[in-house]
């Protein structure tokens, strides 16, 4: 029965990370493994900068050379023979980027983004597949775009599940019988053979898609943390690891912004009753966290902090009440601009929402809404969500801070703070 391993960018940020990945695979060489890999280190960030420079007509040479240097330095550390075929393979992959940069940007910036930024996963998986083969671990490289089929919603590709499952089931189970398979997270393809991406940090979701289609035994996401923690250890010193979480609790936490797992990951696994492990790549024998259909007992509070938030207050121009018709128009605008609402609150005369900062989409959204409504907004805020909150914790997190909006339910508290 197949298993799916997913390695994030931090797992393969350098040669030592790739070598560690190979050790983990070797420990599991008796299994049918599909391995999903993200771009190396901060490559996606660099490619986003490259794409932005291209859109603005600025010089792209320095950024591209920086990305090349990272990948070729990893190659040199892994493959001492400079004539190894992987060198030409990676050179040719960079040529694909250069072709895009030579053309005028596509009128749709999201289309442009997907064609450029997706190359990070192609680079990482080609290097890792070549290294595993070099160390005697027979591995086949697969192009995820040939399997995960999406619509034309660039940067947020919507999966065509029927077509995707047909393509995965047609060939991958047979391939896994006598070799490992490596493919990319984050990316998919359209019926016109254009590349799409599944949303930022979407490699976890890719692993879940492959797992569901393969009816996998389980999925393991290898991270640089010991498992799912109740808070970001960079922000809070005394974090607690969850040994076990239910699908429901994991969905709630990811919905509110917990970054250890992509929000769309859980649902396909829950539907197929496939357990998800989150384990540290630096300590493969550690217990990690298991997410399954088993309900857990009382949980410690989980704190999720989302930075770079914008609070928008929308009111009618004639001071009339906010009605269902107004809300319908507002939600249509948000959906059309592909803007997720992180928190919302309605009063008699206004509707307030908290969203992630995205300058282009924010401008588009306010232009649409300004036709019918008055708009006020505050930028540079934080959204703090506490699952299973206590009053003491609420008081501690809001002490000496200006609270713009607050919301409490049975299990969850949310605060928009400055």
The SS3 call for residue 287 is: coil
**Which two three-digit tokens encode residue 134?**
């070099």
Residue 234, in any domain of the structure: no
CA distance 253 to 387: 8
pLDDT digits (tens, 9 = 90+) for 264-313: 899 999 999 999 999 999 999 999 999 999 887 667 899 999 999 999 99
For 111, other C-beta atoms within 10 Å of its C-beta total 17
Domain stops at, among 217, 240, 271: 217
Q: Describe the strand order of the beta sheet including 403-408 as a list of residue ranges.
A: 343-346, 350-356, 302-316, 373-387, 412-417, 403-408
**Which two three-digit tokens encode residue 247?**
């699908």
pLDDT at residue 210 above 70?
Answer: yes
The SS3 call for residue 159 is: strand
Residue 359, in any domain of the structure: yes
Domain stops at, among 170, 188, 217: 217
The SS3 call for residue 155 is: coil
Within 13 Å, how many C-alpha atoms sit on residue 205's CB side? Answer: 21
Buried b (16+ CB within 10 A) or exposed e, 356-374: bebeebbebbbebbeeebe
> Do 211 and 306 share a domain, yes or no?
no
> Do 176 and 75 share a domain, yes or no?
yes
Q: How confident is the model at residue 238 (pLDDT cuts 50, 70, 90)?
A: confident
Q: What is the pLDDT of residue 298?
A: 67
User: Which letter does DSSP use for residue 229 in this model?
Assistant: B
Q: What is the pLDDT of residue 106?
A: 92
Q: Say what angle helices 109-117 and 119-134 make with each other, to 10 degrees.
A: 10
Domain stops at, among 217, 251, 267: 217
Give me the mean pLDDT over the 322-346 stretch.
Answer: 94
**Which two three-digit tokens encode residue 228?**
């799912």
User: Which letter does DSSP use for residue 288 in this model?
Assistant: -
Please name the residues in contact with 396: beta carbons below 8 A apart, sequence gap of 6 or more.
none
The residues that bridge with 289 in the sheet, in sequence order, are 278
Q: What is the pLDDT of residue 321?
A: 95
Domain extent at residue 368? 302-417
Residue 228, in any domain of the structure: no
Buried b (16+ CB within 10 A) or exposed e, 168-196: beeebbeebeeebbbbbbbbbbbeeebbb
What's the structural domain count of the chain? 2
> Do 205 and 319 share a domain, yes or no?
no
> Do 332 and 203 share a domain, yes or no?
no
CA distance 111 to 114: 5
CA distance 134 to 11: 19
What percent of the chain lies above the pLDDT cut of 90?
A: 90
Q: Whose CA is closest to 311, among 260, 264, 350, 258?
A: 350
Q: How confident is the model at residue 255 (pLDDT cuts 50, 70, 90)?
A: confident
pLDDT digits (tens, 9 = 90+) for 3-15: 999 999 999 999 9
Q: What is the pLDDT of residue 202?
A: 87
Give me the mean pLDDT over the 356-374 stretch.
Answer: 93
Q: Is the pTM of this model over 0.85?
A: yes
pLDDT at residue 252 above 70?
Answer: yes
Residue 329, in any domain of the structure: yes
Residue 56, in any domain of the structure: yes
Give me the mean pLDDT over the 370-377 stretch.
Answer: 95
Q: What is the pLDDT of residue 150?
A: 98
Q: Whose CA is closest to 52, among 44, 286, 162, 30?
A: 44
Burial of 43 (0-12, 13-18, 19+ CB in 10 A): buried
Residue 268, in any domain of the structure: no
Q: Describe the strand order of the beta sheet including 276-280 as a list of residue ranges.
A: 139-141, 180-184, 32-37, 2-7, 219-223, 276-280, 289-292, 244-246
Residue 248, in any domain of the structure: no
pLDDT digits (tens, 9 = 90+) for 184-202: 999 999 999 999 999 877 8
Q: What is the pLDDT of residue 119?
A: 97
CA distance 185 to 40: 12
Q: What is the CATH number of the domain that holds 329?
A: 3.30.2130.10
Q: What is the CATH number of the domain that holds 129?
A: 3.40.1160.10
CA distance 98 to 337: 30
pLDDT at residue 221 above 90?
Answer: yes
First to last CA, the chain: 50
CA distance 64 to 287: 40
Q: What is the pLDDT of residue 219?
A: 98
CA distance 169 to 167: 6
The SS3 call for residue 383 is: strand
Residue 328, in any domain of the structure: yes
| Cβ contact 159:150 at 8 Å | yes
User: Which letter does DSSP use for residue 205 in this model?
Assistant: H
| Cβ contact 371:317 at 8 Å | no
> Do 8 and 156 share a domain, yes or no?
yes
Q: What is the pLDDT of residue 20?
A: 97
> Do 45 and 186 share a domain, yes or no?
yes
pLDDT at residue 388 above 90?
Answer: yes
Give me the mean pLDDT over the 365-369 stretch.
Answer: 95
pLDDT digits (tens, 9 = 90+) for 13-69: 999 999 999 999 999 999 999 999 999 999 999 999 999 999 999 999 999 999 999
> Do 311 and 404 share a domain, yes or no?
yes
Q: Say what angle helices 119-134 and 15-27 make with each other, to 10 degrees.
A: 60
Helices marked H in 305-384 — which ranges?
324-336, 359-369
User: Which letter does DSSP use for residue 188 in this model?
Assistant: E
CA distance 305 to 144: 32
User: What single string gives the DSSP state of each residue in 264-282?
Assistant: TSHHHHHHHT--EEEEETT
Average pLDDT taken over every residue of the chain: 95
């Amino acid at each position: 029965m197949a298993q799916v391993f997913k390695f994030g960018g931090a797992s393969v940020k350098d040669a030592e990370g790739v070598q560690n990945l190979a050790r983990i695979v070797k420990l599991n060489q008796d299994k049918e493994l599909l391995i999903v890999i993200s771009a190396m280190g901060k490559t996606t960030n660099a490619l986003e900068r490259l794409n932005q420079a291209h859109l603005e007509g600025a010089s792209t040479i320095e950024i591209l050379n920086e990305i090349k240097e990272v990948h070729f330095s990893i190659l040199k550390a892994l493959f001492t023979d400079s004539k190894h075929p992987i060198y030409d393979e990676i050179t040719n992959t960079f040529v694909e980027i250069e072709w895009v940069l030579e053309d005028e940007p596509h009128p749709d910036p999201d289309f442009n983004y997907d064609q450029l930024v997706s190359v990070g996963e192609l680079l990482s998986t080609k290097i890792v597949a070549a290294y595993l083969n070099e160390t005697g671990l027979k591995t086949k490289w697969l192009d995820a775009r040939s399997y995960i089929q999406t619509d034309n919603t660039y940067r947020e590709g919507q999966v065509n599940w029927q077509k995707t499952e047909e393509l995965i089931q047609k060939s991958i189970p047979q391939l896994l019988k006598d070799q490992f398979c490596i493919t990319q997270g984050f990316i998919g393809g359209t019926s016109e053979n254009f590349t799409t991406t599944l949303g930022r940090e979407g490699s976890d979701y890719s692993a879940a898609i492959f797992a569901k289609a393969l009816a996998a035994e389980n999925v393991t996401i290898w991270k640089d943390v010991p498992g799912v923690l109740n808070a970001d250890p960079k922000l809070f010193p005394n974090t607690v690891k969850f040994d076990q979480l239910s699908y429901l609790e994991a969905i709630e936490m990811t919905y509110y912004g917990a970054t250890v797992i992509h929000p769309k990951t859980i649902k396909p696994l829950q539907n197929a009753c496939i357990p998800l492990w989150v384990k540290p790549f630096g300590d493969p024998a550690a217990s990690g966290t298991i997410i399954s259909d088993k309900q857990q007992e009382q949980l410690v509070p989980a704190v999720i902090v989302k930075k770079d938030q914008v609070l928008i207050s929308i009111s009618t121009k004639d001071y009339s009440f906010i009605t269902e018709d107004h809300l319908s128009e507002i939600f249509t605008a948000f959906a059309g601009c592909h803007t997720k609402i992180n928190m919302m609150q309605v009063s008699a005369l206004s509707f307030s929402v908290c969203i992630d900062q995205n300058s282009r989409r924010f401008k588009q959204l306010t232009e649409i809404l300004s036709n019918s409504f008055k708009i006020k907004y505050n930028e540079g805020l934080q959204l703090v969500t506490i699952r299973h909150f206590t009053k003491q914790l609420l008081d501690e997190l809001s002490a000496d801070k200006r609270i713009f909006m607050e919301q409490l339910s049975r299990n969850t508290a949310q605060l928009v703070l400055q």
